[in-house]
Amino acid sequence: MARQITCPNCGGSHDLVNPGISMLVCEYCQTTLYWSEDAAVHMGQRSILPQGDTRLYMGATGKLLERSFEVVGHVRLEVDRGGWDEWYLMIDGQKSAWVSEDGRQLALARSLKVEEALPRPDEIDVGYTVRLSGMEFTVREIGEARCVGGEGQLPFTLLPGEQYPFLDLATADGQHNATLEFDEEEAPHAYLGRTLSHEQLVVDDDRSPIGPSQEAKDVDCPNCGGPVERPKDRDVATLVCTYCGAHLDLSGTEMAVMGINPKGFDPNFLLEIGQKGKLRGVEYEVSGRVLVRDEEGYDSREYILYNPGKGYLWLAEENGHFVLSQNTRQAPKTHVFNLEPKYPVMVGDQEFLFFGEVRARIVYVDGALPWVANANDSFKAACLIAPPRQFGIESGGSGRGVDYFIGDYMAPEQVWEAFKLKPPVWEAAGVHPAQPFVRNPKMTQLMWVGLVFAALNLLGLSWSVLSESRPVYQASLGPSDYSTERLSKPFAISGGGVMRLKMSSPVRNNWVSLDVALVDAEDQVVATSGGDVEYYEGTEEGEHWTEGSSETEVFFKAPKAGEYRLLAKGSSGVATAPTDSKPSSRMSAPSGPAIQVVLYEGEVLSRYFFFAFLGIGLIPFYVWLRGYLFEKRRWAPAMDDDDKEETDWDDMDRM
């Protein structure tokens, strides 16, 4: 038989759902009841919970992972940056489980027996690794939670206003999370969880738990008295008065003014509060806006977008570039702060490169935000990139809490299309860390065509270098041979292609000139060629010099196949200048050096393939160079390079 507890305050009777219950909140008078080992019932203060934007509510029933559940207990917890809800469920009327809701993100948790030696919050820091239940977890947050209140029946005693230290942990892939809760005397309580999709949690009556008498009401600004409309479909921790710009803290039981936006300051926001846009196929509304300024004076603007079914997205804008992000429980496998640019960091199974880190502060806030935000609040942020993906890490001012965001780059025209903005579309300045390098399609096609033809010419060049020509005629001609016309004996030519005439002579401070012609069987000249062989050397002002060469080559088109004879006539001379100075003229001489003549057929000119390869290869090189310069501009701020020399490569992309 289930144990009954009678409320000492109002006399209301309650049946405990299981023997492990040690605390309940009276459903009649909201008094917190708990009992000690001697079964004596004690009364705490009244537990009054503000209604929040949650799918679950007290008494809700449905299916969790295909098993029946009923919500029998609820605790609302808070930290400085916001709060979350913990729901105590009975599964199939026998077992229990916990489901947490944080900004429409669901997680299923169960109590875990701690067997490992675990560090206390003052012995560890954010980003470090903790091993629990055979898995490695990254410390995401170290903080102190405060109990706002509870309702229903709970298996532990946690009174409104009570605080306790905790560690929030997550695996690298974000699929599992854990919480360690500490008190002064006992070992830490551990809860092991996993993320849940909304499809895995089916509520029978999926209605808003906010009843007519409990709806959030508009409030008056404590600073100016003006009416402030409080959104009724979501949890709001910060609300900004549209009349005086006061930042109102709604996280506590009483509204408080945290700060005021500077008067006359224009944050130059692109989107208005309440403006709607379609992103990732879902309609979102601009709930809040934040202007952030880093330590070097650069501004960025963040738009907090809300959809009742999907929760929050963050649209960040900087210099006309946009990144659409969402909160994630995935954590990097490396402590990301104080790394060198381009240091590889794994997030799940994807590799990112560390881009940089910066300390920034909030300058301007308006709208409704799900966390406590105030002007001059500072934080540290790090950026990892794998364009077009970006992974962001933000650590609060104390450095004891970390939020992770995964996002994708959005071009300005995509934002204009999503929110149906009027032209002109902003022109983004510079290169954003997550901006992908997108080639013009025509340039991409041209690059591939260039690569194909460059490869063909490279093959042709290799073939020309390796191919061997064939000598068809050779002779050694003395001065008496070439001083008058001399006709050789017939020789065969295969025909077609290119012929090479090689002439060499042991000249020294002398020259030989030879003209040749190919004569066919009908004594007709079908091709002519010729060349000079000359070589000089001497000494001038103590410096030895040389000029010319003892051999030369000329190329000409081969005639058709057949028998031919070579007609040769030449001349030679001796330099008139002394050997210690460079000659300035030549004079004829009846005698001279001999000259060797070799005629080749089947010659392949490598230089044509080489120059064609270089010319065509400039096309893919140009495309590669554009990508290289794009990456150089991307990394210039992170590498402390001078980023002021702008080259309009974007215009070249449109060519």
Q: Which of 122-126, 321-325, 436-440, 537-541 bottoms out in mean pLDDT, i.e. has the lowest?
A: 122-126
CB 74 within 8 A of CB 152: yes
Query: Which residues contact residue 208 at a Cβ distance below 8 angstroms, ignoring those fewer than 6 apart?
Result: 233
User: What's the confidence (pLDDT) of residue 654?
Assistant: 40
Residue 594 sits in the same domain as residue 611: no
Q: What is the full DSSP assignment across 298-353?
A: -EEEEEEEEETTTEEEEEEEETTEEEEEEEE----SS--TTPPTT-EEEETTEEEE
User: What's the confidence (pLDDT) of residue 643?
Assistant: 44
Average pLDDT of span 421-449: 86
Average pLDDT of span 247-259: 79
Domain residues for 529? 471-603
What whole-number distance in Å separates Cα of residue 579 and Cα of residue 151?
115
Q: Which among 300, 329, 324, 306 has a CA at the least distance from the CA of 314?
A: 324
User: What's the confidence (pLDDT) of residue 214?
Assistant: 39
Residue 355 sits in the same domain as residue 441: no
CB 642 within 8 A of CB 536: no
Residue 385 sits in the same domain as residue 311: yes
Residue 515 sits in the same domain as residue 651: no
Q: Identify the H or E element spanning 452.
A: helix 441-466
| Mean of per-residue pLDDT scores for the chain | 82
User: What's the confidence (pLDDT) of residue 217?
Assistant: 56
Helix H, strand E, coil C: the string for 350-399 is: EEEEEEEEEEEEEEEEEEEECCCCCCCCEEEEEEEEECCEEEEEEEECCC
Helix pair 441-466, 606-635: axis angle to 10 deg: 140
User: What's the confidence (pLDDT) of residue 137?
Assistant: 85
The first and second tokens of residue 187, run together, are: 């070992």
- pLDDT grade for 19, boundaries at 50, 70 and 90: low
Residue 502 lies in a domain: yes
Query: pLDDT per residue over 593-613, tens digit each?
Result: 999 999 999 877 776 677 777
User: What's the confidence (pLDDT) of residue 25?
Assistant: 75
Please report, in angstroms and rounded to a whole number, the separation of the first and last CA atoms in the chain. 83
Residue 208 lies in a domain: no
Comparing 446 with 258, the larger pLDDT belongs to 258
The first and second tokens of residue 620, run together, are: 């893919």
- CATH code, domain carrying 530: 2.60.120
Residue 239 sits in the same domain as residue 384: yes
Give the three-state DSSP class for 138: strand
Residue 190 lies in a domain: yes
- pLDDT grade for 275, boundaries at 50, 70 and 90: very high
Q: Which of 121-135, 290-304, 328-342 bottoms out in mean pLDDT, i.e. has the lowest?
A: 121-135
User: What's the confidence (pLDDT) of residue 1?
Assistant: 45
Residue 193 sits in the same domain as residue 222: no
Output DSSP code: residue 401: B
Q: Which of 211-220, 578-587, 596-605 bottoms out in mean pLDDT, i.e. has the lowest?
A: 578-587
What whole-number distance in Å separates Cα of residue 552 and Cα of residue 532?
7
Residue 151 sits in the same domain as residue 256: no
Residue 126 sits in the same domain as residue 239: no
- Report the sign of the C-alpha dihedral through residues 487, 492, 498, 499, in that order: negative
- pLDDT grade for 645, boundaries at 50, 70 and 90: very low
- Site of tokens 């206003």: 161
What whole-number distance in Å separates Cα of residue 484 and Cα of residue 654?
66
User: What's the confidence (pLDDT) of residue 495?
Assistant: 84
- Of 142, 168, 203, which one is at a domain's C-terminal end? 203
Beta bridge partners of 78: 83, 146
Position 388, amino acid: P
Q: Which of 51-65, 171-185, 336-350, 594-608 bottoms out in mean pLDDT, i.e. has the lowest?
A: 171-185
What whole-number distance in Å separates Cα of residue 144 and Cα of residue 345?
29
CB 269 within 8 A of CB 289: yes
Residue 233 sits in the same domain as residue 363: yes
User: What's the confidence (pLDDT) of residue 574?
Assistant: 57
Indicate whether 198 pLDDT > 80: yes
- Percentage of the chain with pLDDT > 70? 84
What whole-number distance in Å separates Cα of residue 538 and Cα of residue 583?
9
Residue 463 sits in the same domain as residue 475: no
Indicate whether 99 pLDDT > 90: yes
- Report the sign of the C-alpha dihedral through residues 493, 553, 591, 570, in that order: positive
- Report the sign of the C-alpha dihedral through residues 594, 599, 603, 609, in that order: positive
User: What's the confidence (pLDDT) of residue 606?
Assistant: 73
What whole-number distance in Å separates Cα of residue 573 and Cα of residue 508?
11
**Number of residues that make up the chain:** 655
Cα atoms found within 13 Å of the Cα of residue 438, Cβ hemisphere only: 13
Q: What is the full DSSP assignment across 210-277?
A: --GGG----EE-TTT--EEPPPSSS--SEEE-TTT-EEEE-SSSS-EEEEEPPTT-----SSPTT-EE
Query: pLDDT per residue over 285-330, tens digit each?
Result: 999 999 999 998 999 999 999 998 888 999 999 999 999 999 887 8
Comparing 42 with 190, the larger pLDDT belongs to 190
Task: Note the pTM of the prediction, 2 decimals.
Answer: 0.67
Residue 131 sits in the same domain as residue 277: no
Query: Which residues contact residue 314 at a Cβ distance below 8 angstroms, ignoring those fewer than 6 apart?
Result: 302, 303, 304, 305, 324, 325, 326, 327, 405, 407
- Of 177, 203, 229, which one is at a domain's C-terminal end? 203
Residue 424 lies in a domain: no
Averaging pLDDT over each range in 133-142, 397-406, 449-458, which range is the top one?
A: 133-142
What whole-number distance in Å separates Cα of residue 605 and Cα of residue 600?
13
Output DSSP code: residue 115: -
What whole-number distance in Å separates Cα of residue 419 and Cα of residue 250?
29
Indicate whether 258 pLDDT > 90: no
Indicate whether 38 pLDDT > 70: no
- Of 203, 230, 265, which one is at a domain's C-terminal end? 203
Residue 32 lies in a domain: yes
Q: Which of 8-22, 115-129, 144-158 bottoms out in mean pLDDT, i.e. has the lowest?
A: 8-22
Indicate whether 583 pLDDT > 70: no
- pLDDT grade for 438, boundaries at 50, 70 and 90: confident
Query: pLDDT per residue over 39-96, tens digit each?
Result: 445 555 555 565 566 889 989 999 999 999 999 999 888 876 667 889 999 999 888 8
Averaging pLDDT over each range in 59-63, 454-458, 622-626, 639-643, which range is the top one?
A: 59-63
Q: Render the burial of 50-73: b for 16+ CB within 10 Å, e for the rest.
A: eebbbbbbbebebebeeeebbbbb
What whole-number distance in Å separates Cα of residue 636 and Cα of residue 50?
49
Domain count, the chain: 4
Q: Render the burial of 166-175: b for 16+ CB within 10 Å, e for the rest.
A: bbbbbbbebe
Position 479, amino acid: P
Distance set, CA 555 to CA 203, 444, 532, 599 (Å)? 89, 39, 14, 10
Residue 442 lies in a domain: yes
User: What's the confidence (pLDDT) of residue 212?
Assistant: 37
Residue 428 lies in a domain: no
Residue 209 lies in a domain: no
Averaging pLDDT over each range in 155-169, 367-381, 455-469, which range is the top one?
A: 367-381
Residue 56 sits in the same domain as residue 71: yes
- Site of tokens 């080559």: 553
